[in-house]
Chains A and B, each alone.
Chain A
Amino acid sequence: MPVCTDSDAAFALQGVTRAFAGVRAVADVSLAFPRGRTSILIGSSGSGKSTLLRLLIGLEWPSAGMVLCDGEALRRDSLPAVRRRVGYVIQEGGLFPHLTVLGNLSLLPRHLGWSKARVSERAVELAELAHLHPDLLTRFPAELSGGQRQRVALMRALMLDPPTLLLDEPLGALDPLVRHNLQDDLREIFRRLGKTVIMVTHDMAEAAFFGTRLILMRDGRVLQDGSIEDFRNAPVDDFVREFLAAHRNLPGGSA
Chain B
Amino acid sequence: MKRGLALLFAWLPLIAIVPPAASVPAAPAGGAPVVVAGSKNFTESVVLGEIARLAGRERGVQVRHRRSLGGTRILWSALARGDIDAYPEYTGTLTHELLRDLPPDGGIAVLRARLAKLGIGITDPLGFNNTYAIGMREKEAARLHIRSISDLARHPGLKLAFSNEFMNRADGWPGLKHAYHLPMDARGMDHSLAYRALASGAVDAIDLYSTDAEIAYYHLRVLKDDKHFFPRYDAVYLYRLDLEKRAPRFVAALQDLAGSIDTSQMRAMNKAVKLDGKDARSVAAGFLGVGAGRGSTRGFWRQLGRYTLEHLVLVGISLSLAILFAVPLGIFAARRRRLGQIVLGLTGILQTVPSLALFVFMIPLFGIGAKPAIAALFLYSLLPIVRNTHAGLTGIDPTLLESATALGLPPRVRLWRVELPQALRSVLAGVKIAAVINVGTATLGALIGAGGYGQPILTGIRLDDIGLIMEGAVPAALLALAMQGVFEVIEHALTPRGLRMRAQA
A interface residues, Cβ below 8 angstroms from B: 57, 59, 79-81, 83-84, 86, 88, 90, 92, 94-100, 107-108, 111, 140-146, 156
**Contacts known (A88-B406, A111-B413, A156-B407); A142 close to B504, Cβ less than 8 A:** yes
A142 contacts B1, C-beta separation under 8 Å: no
Residues from chain A with Cβ under 8 Å of B502 in the complex:
142
**Contacts known (A97-B499, A99-B1); A57 close to B406, Cβ less than 8 A:** yes
Q: How many Å from the CB of B252 to the closest CB on chain A?
A: 70
Contact of B501 among A59, A92, A99, A142 (CB under 8 A): A142
Residues from chain B with Cβ under 8 Å of A94 in the complex:
399-400, 402-403, 406
What are 23 A-B interface contacts by the 8 Å CB criterion? A79-B408, A84-B408, A86-B406, A90-B402, A94-B403, A96-B403, A96-B421, A97-B400, A97-B496, A97-B498, A97-B501, A98-B496, A99-B496, A99-B498, A107-B407, A107-B418, A108-B408, A108-B409, A141-B498, A141-B503, A142-B498, A142-B504, A143-B504
Report the separation of the CA atoms of residues A144 and B498 in the bound assembly, to the nearest whole angstrom. Answer: 11
Report the separation of the CA atoms of residues A107 and B410 in the bound assembly, to the nearest whole angstrom. Answer: 11
Residues from chain B with Cβ under 8 Å of A140 in the complex:
497-498, 501
What 5 pairs between A and B have smallest CB-CB spacing?
A94-B403, A140-B498, A83-B408, A98-B496, A142-B501
Report the separation of the CA atoms of residues A67 and B142 in the bound assembly, to the nearest whole angstrom. Answer: 98
Q: How many Å from the CB of B422 to the closest CB on chain A?
A: 6
Q: How many Å from the CB of A45 to the closest CB on chain B?
A: 16
Task: Across the interface, name the chain B residue whose C-beta is closest to A79.
Answer: B408
Report the separation of the CA atoms of residues A90 and B405 in the bound assembly, to the nearest whole angstrom. Answer: 13
Contact of A97 among B406, B409, B503, B505 (CB under 8 A): B503
B504 contacts A98, C-beta separation under 8 Å: no
A107 contacts B399, C-beta separation under 8 Å: no
Task: Across the interface, name the chain B residue whose C-beta is closest to A88.
Answer: B406
Size of chain B's interface in residues, with CB distance under 8 A? 26
Is B57 in the interface zone, CB < 8 Å from A?
no
Residues from chain A with Cβ under 8 Å of B421 in the complex:
96, 98-99
B402 contacts A80, C-beta separation under 8 Å: no
Q: How many Å from the CB of B62 to the closest CB on chain A?
A: 57
Task: Across the interface, name the chain A residue whose C-beta is closest to B503.
Answer: A142
Task: Across the interface, name the chain B residue whose C-beta is closest to A82.
Answer: B408
With most chain A CB atoms within 10 A of its CB, the pick from B402, B405, B497, B498 is B498
Is B417 in the interface zone, CB < 8 Å from A?
yes
Report the separation of the CA atoms of residues A80 and B410 in the bound assembly, to the nearest whole angstrom. Answer: 8
Residues from chain B with Cβ under 8 Å of A143 in the complex:
501, 504
Report the separation of the CA atoms of residues A96 and B406 in the bound assembly, to the nearest whole angstrom. Answer: 13
Residues from chain A with Cβ under 8 Å of B496 in the complex:
97-99
Residues from chain B with Cβ under 8 Å of A84 in the complex:
408
Task: Across the interface, name the chain A residue whose C-beta is closest to B499.
Answer: A98
Task: Across the interface, name the chain B residue whose C-beta is closest to A108.
Answer: B407
Known A-B contacts: A94-B402, A99-B498, A146-B505. Give 12 more (CB < 8 A): A57-B406, A59-B406, A81-B408, A90-B406, A92-B399, A94-B403, A140-B497, A140-B498, A142-B498, A142-B502, A142-B503, A143-B504
Report the separation of the CA atoms of residues A100 and B1 in the bound assembly, to the nearest whole angstrom. Answer: 10
Report the separation of the CA atoms of residues A185 and B99 in the bound assembly, to the nearest whole angstrom. Answer: 90
Q: How many Å from the CB of A148 to the closest CB on chain B?
A: 10
With most chain B CB atoms within 10 A of its CB, the pick from A86, A97, A107 is A97
Report the separation of the CA atoms of residues A59 and B401 in the bound assembly, to the nearest whole angstrom. Answer: 11
**Contacts known (A96-B403, A98-B422); A80 close to B408, Cβ less than 8 A:** yes
Report the separation of the CA atoms of residues A95 and B501 in the bound assembly, to the nearest whole angstrom. Answer: 14
Residues from chain B with Cβ under 8 Å of A111 in the complex:
409-410, 413
Q: How many Å from the CB of A49 to the closest CB on chain B?
A: 17
Report the separation of the CA atoms of residues A83 and B504 in the bound assembly, to the nearest whole angstrom. Answer: 30
B498 contacts A100, C-beta separation under 8 Å: yes
Report the separation of the CA atoms of residues A24 and B1 in the bound assembly, to the nearest whole angstrom. Answer: 40
Report the separation of the CA atoms of residues A142 and B501 in the bound assembly, to the nearest whole angstrom. Answer: 6
Residues from chain B with Cβ under 8 Å of A79 in the complex:
408
Report the separation of the CA atoms of residues A143 and B497 in the bound assembly, to the nearest whole angstrom. Answer: 11
**CB interface residues, B 379-435, toward A, < 8 Å:** 399-400, 402-410, 413, 417-418, 421-422
Report the separation of the CA atoms of residues A51 and B496 in the bound assembly, to the nearest whole angstrom. Answer: 33
Report the separation of the CA atoms of residues A144 and B413 in the bound assembly, to the nearest whole angstrom. Answer: 25
Q: How many Å from the CB of A112 to the closest CB on chain B?
A: 9
With most chain A CB atoms within 10 A of its CB, the pick from B402, B403, B405, B503 is B403
Residues from chain B with Cβ under 8 Å of A107 in the complex:
407, 409, 413, 417-418
With most chain A CB atoms within 10 A of its CB, the pick from B1, B400, B408 is B408
A90 contacts B403, C-beta separation under 8 Å: yes
Q: Mark B74-92, 1 if CB is under 8 A from A, else 0.
A: 0000000000000000000
Q: How many Å from the CB of A162 to the closest CB on chain B?
A: 10
